[in-house]
DNA sequence: ACCAAATGGTACTAAATTGGTTCTAATTAG
DNA sequence: CTAATTAGAACCAATTTAGTACCATTTGGT
């Protein structure tokens, strides 16, 4: 569908939420509550992010997660790599070699690889720090009740309440 | 999965195949055979491409399809628009407005829209004409039998034979 | 030592999406 | 009139994805 998966979407939300206070440690529970997402789902995302070294986990009671790098040093591409299928590439054929007999001379493949590369660069250019730097003031006067109820977190998306 | 769908992939194959002789008329059957894809599948793709005005259909006996514009005037973005879900956007939230209460001030959304825009431009910059202009010589000496059997078409991908 | 609060990992189930097929109608050349 | 061909809708099966559940492990506090 030429979309990132929901898990990846959640990943950007979770990471952005954490980037507001980059030094703090957050529990899965806290993040899930702040973002009104399911705890198991957020846990799953955090586990994957941990495995890929984007966040550091502290186990045991009073444990939690913290960014393992500064928000300036984490890109959307990092998050996508952690949560989307690898290898990166908009078509199967451009991502994986050996599927086609004409590979060497196939301009379709070459072009899809070129396009995929551009997409990748776009993802690499957006850093987590960009996600929290609010440069456009929010001009909404009175947010609806539902939104107000979630005021705790700086950015909340209306997703299935779970 | 951050991939185009197979149908869209087929779309680029079909269109590229047609772009080799831009003035010719092709039947669904002929294209399917040349690309070793299923006739119903290719038909489905061609129907969608027709609805979106990328190819012109001629009905009735001795009917078929022809490109409705020159290969220089058709881009990959056109094909994606015809075969992928609309509206274009890497996340649901960036594609469709009104899903979130914080939209106005949400930098996540803004950034995803920015990224989607870059992706779109990349797709718009590759024209069908680029797909057939073979500028890198194919250095393969002896193609495998299976490939040789499909020699009729200039670019064939090894997909389920159906 | 024990318990409570966390994360780690695997596996499962249900829902959504996608791919591909089938069927019938409409069109047109011969 | 018939054969060849596209149009369109509906359908089914396979795959993928989302979300949940379960159990193991770790660790701080009492």
pLDDT digits (tens, 9 = 90+) for A88-113: 999 999 999 888 877 777 889 999 99
Residue of chain B with shortest Cα separation from A160: B99
In whole angstroms, give the CA distance from residue A106 to residue B75.
Answer: 18
- Give pTM, 2 decimals: 0.85
Structure confidence by residue, pLDDT tens digits, A71-84: 999 999 999 999 99
The answer on pLDDT for A162 being more than 60 is no
Q: Is the CB of A162 under 7 A from strand C?
A: no
Structure confidence by residue, pLDDT tens digits, A19-57: 999 999 999 999 999 999 999 999 999 999 999 999 999
Name the protein residue, with chain letter, whose CA is nearest the C1' of C27.
Answer: B60
Let me know: does A52 contact A82? Beta carbons within 8 Å: yes
Q: Do A3 and B89 touch (CB under 8 A)?
A: yes
CB atoms within 10 A of CB B73: 12
In whole angstroms, give the CA distance from residue B109 to residue B93.
Answer: 7
Question: Six-digit token pair at B124?
Answer: 């718009």
Q: Do B12 and A108 touch (CB under 8 A)?
A: yes
Q: Is the CB of B33 under 7 A from strand D?
A: no
CB atoms within 10 A of CB A97: 10
Eight-class DSSP state of B147? H
In whole angstroms, give the CA distance from residue A55 to residue A58.
Answer: 10
Region A122-141: mean pLDDT is 73
User: Phi then psi for A65, rounded to 5 degrees?
Assistant: -130, 150
CB atoms within 10 A of CB B111: 19
Beta-carbon contacts of B88 under 8 Å, excluding residues fewer than 6 positions away, are A2, B80, B81, B95, B116, B120
Q: What is the mean pLDDT of chain B?
A: 85
Structure confidence by residue, pLDDT tens digits, B36-74: 999 999 999 999 999 999 999 999 999 999 999 999 999
Q: What is the mean pLDDT of chain A?
A: 85
Residue A135 has a pLDDT of 53
In whole angstroms, give the CA distance from residue B52 to residue A104.
Answer: 32
Residue of chain B with shortest Cα separation from A104: B138
pLDDT > 90: percent of chain B: 73
Residue A103 has a pLDDT of 75
SS3 at position B62: coil
Question: Six-digit token pair at B101?
Answer: 């209460």
In the block, residue with structure tokens 């899930």: A32
Q: Is the CB of A27 under 7 A from strand C?
A: yes
Region B132-142: mean pLDDT is 51
Helix (H) or strand (E) holding A82: helix A76-83
Mutation to test the A interface, candidates B3, B76, B87, B94, most A Cβ within 10 Å: B3
């Amino acid at each position: 569908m030429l979309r990132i998966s929901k898990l990846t979407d959640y990943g950007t939300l979770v990471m952005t939420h954490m980037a507001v206070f980059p030094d703090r440690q957050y529990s899965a529970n806290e993040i899930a509550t702040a973002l009104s997402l399911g705890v198991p789902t957020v846990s799953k995302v955090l586990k994957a992010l941990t495995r890929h070294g984007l966040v550091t986990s502290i186990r045991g009671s009073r444990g939690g997660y913290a960014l393992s790098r500064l928000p300036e040093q984490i890109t959307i591409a990092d998050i996508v790599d952690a949560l989307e299928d690898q290898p990166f590439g908009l078509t199967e054929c451009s991502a994986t070699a050996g599927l086609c007999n004409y590979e060497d001379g196939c301009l379709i493949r070459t072009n899809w690889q070129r396009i995929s590369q551009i997409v990748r660069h776009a993802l690499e250019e957006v850093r987590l720090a960009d996600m929290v730097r609010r440069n456009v003031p929010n001009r909404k006067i009175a947010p609806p009740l539902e939104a107000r109820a979630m005021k705790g977190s700086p950015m909340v998306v209306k997703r299935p309440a779970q």
